[in-house]
Amino acid sequence: MLQESELRKIVEQINEPFLHTTLKELNAIEELTVKPEKQHVSVKIAIAKKGSGEQMKLQQEVVAKLKEAGALTVGIRFAELSQEVISKFQQTPQAGGNLLSPGSKTIFIAIASGKGGVGKSTVSVNLAVSLARIGKKVGLIDADIYGFSVPDMMGISQRPTLRGEKILPVERLGVKVISMGFFVEDNAPVIWRGPMLGKMLNNFFQEVEWGDLDYLLLDLPPGTGDVALDVHSMLPACKEIIVSTPHPTAAFVAARAGAMALRTDHEVIGVVENMAYFESKKTGEKEYVFGQGGGEKLSEELNVPILGKIPLQQPDWDEVDFSPSVYTADHPIGKIYLQMSEKIAEIVPVK
């Protein structure tokens, strides 16, 4: 028989993910009820910030512990802690720390391609969101400074704010985002040269208050130009994922991006074949619009696995929570991205 008092004690010992204090100390369990006949537990928990990857991770931990205690099903709702409680328990960030500090444990993953038009930014956005969905703390830099598109893809309309001298990234779908698109007006073109671009990119690392991240993804410009070179020099331990279409020529061009990564001691961890095929909703038949074999060819040349093959299909648009390029977790393609994010977490696990 499930006992409410015993279950409450179990949940009380779990740490709130932002304040790193037990839920008991925060008095954050607003409701916990049990339906013994159905072995169902319903919980309402207050946390410092809703709608984040940290919330997802906490939810998974609570569900796992309650099921270990005998619950068959668990329902969880979240509320926000009062500002008074947050201020009381909030830890002061260490001065001078940033993502490039020697003690940083953040894993950098650059998403690269040999040419434009292969859907690299779409892959970047959906991998970032999917990593957040499996409970990782994720940041995304739109490093395609000439062709920034991440804010529009994710349906971001707000701009970053300042806290003291630090820029606070915009958080959307559990991902902290910084893009050149936040700092130009009316979709104006960027006409800077290499040295200025390098300085802006450095600011994204040094001047943004990212907080504690597991993964920082970088949506690189296509090809092997100035920004890609800057990333290679700034982040010697960066991992890379190469995106290509299945066309053999596209794979040949993508191999150049992979070769550049290897020459600069970056580790290529996998290949994503985008636009792999089109599947008819009426017949279920697959049509290979851009040919076949490019992903395999690239995988063999770089000696890395194919993380996933993404078919051609539009995301389901939600007019209320509009993010036109993000696939929902239950969409067939969204499920492929979740599988890829789990593979990435296995290949480069968080320390």
Residue type, 60: Q
CA 61 to chain centre: 20
Are 84 and 38 contained in the same domain?
yes
Distance CA(130)–CA(71), nearest Å, equals 27
The CATH number of the domain holding residue 298 is 3.40.50.300
Structural domain for 8, as ranges: 4-89
pLDDT attached to residue 160: 84
If asked whether residues 85 and 111 sit together in one domain, one would say no
Same domain, 285 and 229: yes
What's the pLDDT score for residue 265? Answer: 63
* Spatial separation of the C-alpha atoms in residues 52 and 132, rounded to whole Å: 8
Whether 336 is in a domain gets the answer yes
Domain co-membership, 138 together with 249? yes
Cα–Cα distance between 43 and 344 in angstroms, integer?
32
Does residue 162 sit within a domain? Answer: yes
In this structure, what token pair is assigned to residue 81? 């802690």
Whether 15 and 159 share a structural domain: no
Q: What is the CATH number of the domain that holds 46?
A: 3.30.300.130
Angle between helices 248-263 and 294-302 (to 10 degrees): 20
Please indicate, yes or no, whether residues 225 and 333 belong to a single structural domain of this protein: yes
pLDDT of residue 117: 78
Asked which of 32, 63, 89 is the last residue of a domain, the reply is 89
**Of 60, 89, 118, which marks where a domain is finished?**
89
| Start-to-end Cα distance in the chain | 39
Q: How far is CA 7 from CA 16, 51, 63, 87, 261, in A?
A: 17, 25, 11, 28, 50
158 shares its domain with 196? yes
Q: What is residue 158's predicted lDDT score, i.e. its pLDDT?
A: 85
Q: Is residue 71 part of a domain?
A: yes
pLDDT per 10-residue tile (average), the chain, 351 residues: 86 88 92 88 90 80 90 91 85 52 81 81 95 94 81 87 84 91 65 54 82 91 62 74 82 67 73 90 87 86 91 80 86 95 94 79
**pLDDT value, residue 103:** 67
Residue 81 forms part of a structural domain: yes
The DSSP output letter for 183 is S
Burial of 159: CB neighbours in 10 Å, binned 0-12, 13-18, 19+: exposed
Q: What is the pLDDT of residue 96?
A: 41
In a domain, 96, yes or no: no
pLDDT (0 to 100) of residue 125: 96
Shared domain check, 315 and 202: yes
* 3-state SS string for 16-36: CCCCCCECCCCCCEEEEEEEC
Closest CA relative to residue 316, chosen from 305, 326, 303, 302: 326
For the chain, what is the domain count? Answer: 2
